[in-house]
Structure 1
Amino acid sequence: MKSKILILIGILAFYSCQNKNESSNIVKTIIQDTLSKTVGGTANLNDAPPRDDKAVELIRTQLNILLEKDLPAMTKADRFFYYQAFDLNNDSKNEYFVGFSNSYFCGSGGCSGYILNNDGSLINRFSVTEFPILIATSSTENFSDLIIQSGNEFHLIKMKNGKYPSNPSVQEIWKGVRPKESAKVLDITDKKFEKYSF
């Protein structure tokens, strides 16, 4: 909180030293108002609006459909997701990996997640998945193979008849070490991913 106040004071000081023109006066007024609300304890600096882009809205809509029966049992804290876009089939359109990190979707074996097409339609649902998901350099049926950790082992997940298998833990075990050249998606433990509500 102190650092936010110091930043606001610094910005106010910077603009007070500038030439007095209309735009700097507007900025100065906004900064002064925000500063007074922050000092007075009436500003809510933690409640920034979520990014409202097409992908987030598409995913929200699809999750509300896919989880329609689950929604009554879920708490507000359960209704958050992470996503990352990645073009799995080299068609210049991203697919969306959707993951969760709460107790409703995660257990001792890992978490559930989804892969959605660019139009929001479902490609796959996963269970017992540990993030991140690795994108292999190989492909099957024109879709990248995936390497998913489940049960402390890496499993090779290949597309079959237009779907990836939903339970990685029963798929072929990846032989060898974790491939360093693979792209990672949903690396939610090492990177700061924004959470979105649905």
Structure 2
Amino acid sequence: MKRLSILVVLCGGLALTSCKKEKKIETIEPLEEVIEFQEPKADALASDVVLGVSNFIKNELLTDADLKAMTETDRQFKLYSIDLNNDGKKETFVSLSGSYFCGSGGCTMLLLDSNYKLITKFTVMQSPVFVEPTVENDWKVLTVKSGGEWKSLVYANGTYPSNPSVVAKATYDAPSGHAEVVFDEKQLEVYEF
């Protein structure tokens, strides 16, 4: 009898368990991990370059009298950084604008080293500037147009020729197809000092 009652209890328990409603399995949505994109450090580097160039223009290139005489347009510049001597540090071309820096022959352009020290102050420069892969005196050759002629600017004695209009015509009729173009028709950011 004991066996029969144990068997009845077991069968009853089994019947009750099988009669229970099946529990609905809930679908769990996977968590979406939100990854915040951080801007590359290049923006920070670019702003450092802008600040360095701006400080050079205001504190080293110009006097207080120059700054007072300038219009808002005269206080604008564009920049382009490139390693010209393969030392792993970029030099920076600075294109100045406005009537204070520009005339019929072109505009003033600066070339600064990575510490914002002046390498060359170009006068009557017209953009674009072509940075050739050709190296002379350990620096890349620059090709510019001046007075309707192509000029080859070669680095010597710590600088490039500052006035392309007095440089002899280049031996070639156009920049090489391998030159990097500086201040071409691409839109570059305009900064103020």
Q: 1:104 deviation in Å?
A: 1.6
2:80 equivalent to 1:96: no
Q: Which runs of 5+ in 1 are unaligned?
A: 1-22, 24-50
**Over alpha carbons, which structure has the higher Rg?**
2
> 1 CA distance for matches of 2:170 and 2:192?
34
Q: Match for residue 182 of structure 1?
A: 179
Q: 1:52 deviation in Å?
A: 6.8
Q: 1:177 deviation in Å?
A: 2.5
Instruction: Report if aligned partners of 2:150, 2:173 keep a CA contact under 8 Å in 1.
Output: no
Q: What TM-score do you get using the length of structure 1 for normalisation?
A: 0.70
Q: Match for residue 159 of structure 2?
A: 163
* Greater than 3 Å deviation, 4+ residue runs: none
**Inter-CA distance 89–52: structure 2 relative to 1 (3 Å threshold):** closer
Q: Which runs of 5+ in 2 are unaligned?
A: 1-33, 35-44
SS of the residue 2:140 aligns to: strand
- How do 1:71-110 residues align onto structure 2 when only pairs under 5 Å count? 71-110=67-106
Q: What TM-score do you get using the length of structure 2 for normalisation?
A: 0.72
2:53 equivalent to 1:59: yes
Instruction: Report if aligned partners of 1:141, 1:162 keep a CA contact under 8 Å in 2.
Output: no
Instruction: Report if aligned partners of 1:83, 1:96 keep a CA contact under 8 Å in 2.
Output: yes
**Inter-CA distance 194–79: structure 2 relative to 1 (3 Å threshold):** same
Q: How many residues align?
A: 147
Q: 1:148 deviation in Å?
A: 1.4
Q: 1:101 deviation in Å?
A: 3.1
- How do 1:117-136 residues align onto structure 2 when only pairs under 5 Å count? 117-136=113-132
Instruction: Report if aligned partners of 1:157, 1:172 keep a CA contact under 8 Å in 2.
Output: no
Instruction: Give the aligned residue type for 1:96.
Output: T
Q: Match for residue 112 of structure 1?
A: 108
